[in-house]
């Protein structure tokens, strides 16, 4: 790093720009809402309905479906953060939480469809394809991980942190705690993004004297950080569209070391094992690339209608209607549930 100080400064500057223009505006509202949802009794309400299908399939308590849903709608690291929050509240067991994190820490639709599909590949259908194969791959990983559950662990929600149920917190308390926790989390996320973007730039600069193969360079970026890896994959797609599509699918499924260290930040305090998480994310990346290639073989028009950049694009994330709708839906669910609970409590009194 000391030798390539200009590369370090350039990488850090671009990382901070990505944080201020993309990560904070697109992720912070979801972080606040997810903290409010997991801090309330919404997870139990959703879990009671979804658990009838979710629990038999994944051998995880129904409340875990809330983390999977938040991860699928909001993106990383919200899936992992919400799972850890449920564990801290005693709503999930240790083994359940470790498996849940492995397939719920996903790339959000706003980033995949808006950032990758619309901005980098000029094709919303291609973004929808990437998002779909990511969800399918995550479900397959979750199902495969049930094979690792010891028989003695198949009694769900055995958590030493569990405590007797208390009165649900007020809406004002949920808001203040949600904003405070989300503010700390978003700073941590931005720190990891900047650090790993700098690291990837330094390594790529070191490799420049050895190889100029765009596929290898793109793969190295993808190992470290999903944003720069996606942008580089689009550049590869400008030269070889099939290779670029497979690379960006792997990038989305794998998510990058930056995201994995963000996950470690949330799980470290409880010493949750991430062994299955790393296996799951690697398998998810491989499956995502495989499914995209299969989709291209079956329906080539999916890739022919794209226009990936042949040069390194600037990664921006447009605030699409899907982003606004998702925020409104989550906030609406939160308010509706709180109002119903208040009415129910008053009637019981």
**CB atoms near residue 240 (< 10 Å):** 14
pLDDT at 70: 85
**pLDDT tens string 83-129:** 888 888 888 888 999 999 999 989 888 788 877 888 888 888 888 99
pLDDT at 103: 92
Give domain status of residue 335, yes or no. no
Residue 341 scores a pLDDT above 70 = no
Lowest mean pLDDT among 136-150, 155-169, 214-228: 155-169
pLDDT at 166: 53
pLDDT at 348: 54
pLDDT at 342: 52
Residue 135 scores a pLDDT above 90 = yes
Most trustworthy range by pLDDT among 24-33, 91-100, 211-220: 91-100
**What is the average per-residue pLDDT within 285-306?**
88
Whole-number Cα distances in Å, 267 to 70, 107, 158, 309: 17, 19, 18, 37
**pLDDT tens string 239-284:** 788 888 899 999 999 988 888 988 988 888 888 889 999 999 999 9
The answer to whether residues 236 and 214 touch, using CB atoms and an 8 Å cutoff, is yes
Mean residue pLDDT of the chain comes to 78
Give domain status of residue 317, yes or no. no
pLDDT at 325: 53
**pLDDT tens string 61-74:** 888 888 898 888 88
Which domain covers residue 234, as residue numbers?
A: 5-158+167-306
**CB atoms near residue 217 (< 10 Å):** 19
Give domain status of residue 33, yes or no. yes
Residue 326 scores a pLDDT above 70 = no
The answer to whether residues 104 and 83 touch, using CB atoms and an 8 Å cutoff, is yes
Percent of the chain exceeding pLDDT 70 equals 79
CA torsion through residues 26, 32, 38, 42, sign = negative
Give domain status of residue 313, yes or no. no
Long-range CB contacts (within 8 A, 24+) of 175-183: 175/32, 175/36, 177/35, 177/36, 177/39, 178/31, 178/32, 178/33, 178/35, 178/36, 178/39, 179/32, 181/31, 181/35, 182/28, 182/31, 182/32, 182/34, 182/35, 183/28
Give domain status of residue 339, yes or no. no
For the chain, how many structural domains are there in total? 1
Lowest mean pLDDT among 51-55, 135-139, 250-254: 51-55
As a dihedral over the C-alpha atoms of residue 204, residue 194, residue 263, residue 34, rounded to 10 degrees, the angle is -140
**pLDDT tens string 153-178:** 554 554 444 444 456 666 677 778 87
Give domain status of residue 209, yes or no. yes
pLDDT at 315: 47
**CB atoms near residue 233 (< 10 Å):** 29
The answer to whether residues 30 and 37 touch, using CB atoms and an 8 Å cutoff, is no
pLDDT at 310: 53
Give domain status of residue 218, yes or no. yes
Residue 290 scores a pLDDT above 80 = yes
The answer to whether residues 79 and 101 touch, using CB atoms and an 8 Å cutoff, is yes
Give domain status of residue 347, yes or no. no
Residue 218 scores a pLDDT above 80 = yes
Estimate to the nearest angstrom the gap between the alpha carbon of 303 and the chain centroid. Answer: 24
Most trustworthy range by pLDDT among 58-62, 134-138, 270-274, 301-305: 134-138
pLDDT at 3: 58
CA torsion through residues 144, 145, 150, 153, sign = negative
pLDDT at 100: 92
Name which residue leads in pLDDT, 141 or 171: 141
The answer to whether residues 113 and 127 touch, using CB atoms and an 8 Å cutoff, is yes
Residue 337 scores a pLDDT above 90 = no
């Amino acid at each position: 790093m000391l030798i390539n100080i200009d590369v370090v400064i350039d990488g850090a500057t671009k990382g901070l720009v990505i944080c201020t223009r993309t990560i904070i505006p697109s992720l912070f509202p979801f972080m606040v809402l997810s903290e409010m949802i997991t801090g309330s009794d919404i997870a139990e309400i959703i879990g009671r309905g979804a658990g009838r299908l979710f629990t038999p399939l994944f051998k995880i308590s129904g409340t875990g479906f809330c983390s999977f849903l938040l991860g699928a709608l909001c993106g990383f690291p919200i899936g992992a953060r919400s799972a850890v929050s449920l564990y801290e509240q005693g709503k999930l067991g240790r083994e359940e939480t470790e498996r849940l994190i492995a397939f719920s820490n996903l790339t959000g639709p706003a980033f995949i469809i808006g950032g990758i599909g619309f901005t980098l590949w000029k094709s919303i259908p291609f973004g929808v394809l990437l998002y779909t194969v990511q969800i399918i791959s995550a479900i397959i990983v979750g199902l495969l991980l049930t094979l690792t559950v010891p028989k003695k662990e198949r009694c769900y929600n055995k958590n030493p942190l569990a405590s007797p149920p208390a009165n649900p917190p007020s809406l004002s308390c949920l808001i203040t705690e949600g904003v405070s926790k989300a503010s700390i989390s978003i700073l941590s996320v931005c720190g990891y993004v900047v650090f790993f973007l700098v690291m990837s730039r330094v390594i790529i600069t070191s490799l420049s004297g050895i190889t100029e193969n765009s596929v290898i360079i793109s793969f190295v970026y993808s190992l470290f950080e999903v944003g720069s890896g996606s942008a580089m994959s689009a550049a590869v797609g400008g030269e070889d569209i099939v290779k670029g599509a497979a690379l960006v699918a792997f990038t989305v499924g794998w998510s990058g070391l930056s995201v994995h260290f963000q996950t470690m930040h949330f799980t470290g305090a409880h010493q949750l094992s991430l062994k299955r998480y790393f296996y799951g994310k690697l398998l998810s990346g491989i499956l995502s690339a495989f499914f995209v290639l299969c989709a291209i073989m079956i329906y080539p028009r999916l890739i022919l209608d794209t226009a990936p950049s042949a040069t390194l694009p600037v990664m921006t994330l447009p605030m699409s209607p899907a982003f606004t709708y998702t925020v409104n839906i989550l906030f609406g669910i939160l308010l509706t549930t709180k109002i119903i609970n208040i009415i129910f409590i008053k009637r019981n009194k």
